[in-house]
Amino acid sequence: MHGGPLFVTDRANVPELRLNMKQRHFFIIDPIEDLNPALDSSLRMARALAVRGHRIFFATIREMSWQSGKEAASAHMVEAHFSGSDIRPVVTPGARHSLADCDAIHMRKDPPFDLSYIEATWLLDSVASKVRIYNQPSALRNFNEKVTILLFPDDIKPALVSSDVSEIIGFIEKSCGGDAVIKPLALFGGRGVEHIRVGQGGLATGEAARQITAMTRDGLEKRMVQPFDKKVYDGEVRAFCVGGEPVGWCLKRPAEGQFLANTRAGATLEPYAPSASEIARVKNVASRLARAGAPIVGFDLIGGFVSEINITSPRLLLPPGTPAAEHSAYEQFAAWIERDCGQVSA
């Protein structure tokens, strides 16, 4: 666990923020002990909605099930209550509730995008036409966080998804200047990402082929291949969008000597003022994804171009020490969600 306990179960002296509870928001999250309160967005999103008077429930995908004879899947949920500015909620004892009784469901389970994740989306399908789900289970299945960038060729640098070793090497040589990054399609946080050079100053073709064969498990698993952009050493931009509009920006600066700009790999967060072209790129892609069932999206940009699109559980990353910016971003998130759900009585 990171720091002190995230949840406490003694509700004594914990005031309700508002008596008029409006909407029921169910957050599917990772186990509490796996959350990092310093960077976690799910708890902050939940708190922002609670401040507006809504009821908040939590469960993990392990606590979801669907029994024959029931119109919808259900989950064993705990109800969370927030006090003041603390993102650590107080929880009441859990009970099983139908997903159909929720006004909104927030799928905030982190990747990997594996079979257990897909199974959870199948259960979410039971209420997809009745309950607002962020993001829609069909969108979570359809828009892979690496592959989806290929739908927006004007907003990215050249990229290839393949498991063919010869094709990958040819792409690295011709489209990447011999310098590339190779990424697995279903992991996150920089896991499995490799920087590879082929040719002058790098690997001989034969050695490159052997390494890529291992990465693709002898051609069984596809990989995303992109040019390595040295601008990543200056930082990777994170933009967080809600309903097609960016509400938060920051710069993720890699640790000294590293190229992975992930906080899990030691990257630090700094304020960032986006350019007009970056705003235009992000809004173009985000608006199209919102219409396709994915209104909550995180973008990574390197050198002004989109490098990844995160829709499973994107984090609203903001530099430390920016409480006004954080409040504004999460308030915009909560206000948009509230409007999108409509005013549903608790």
pLDDT at 7 over 50: no
- Label residue 99 by pLDDT band (50, 70, 90): very high
pTM of the predicted model, to two decimals?
Answer: 0.89
What are the tens digits of pLDDT across the range 236-278?
Answer: 999 999 999 999 999 999 998 889 888 877 899 999 999 999 9
Q: Which CATH fold topology does 158-228 show?
A: Dna Ligase; domain 1 (3.30.1490)
Its sign, for the CA torsion 257, 259, 265, 267, is: positive
CATH code of the domain occupying 231-331:
3.30.470.20
Residue type, 70: K
- In this prediction, residue 33 carries a pLDDT of 75
pLDDT digits 0-9 by tens, 27-39: 999 987 788 888 8
pLDDT beyond 80 at 13 = no
CA distance 146 to 156: 12
pLDDT in tens, 171-218: 999 999 999 999 999 888 788 899 999 998 889 999 999 999 999 999
Residue 334 binned pLDDT confidence (cut-offs 50, 70, 90)? very high
CATH code, residues 24-138: 3.40.50.20
What does the domain layout of the chain look like in residue ranges? Answer: 24-138, 158-228, 231-331
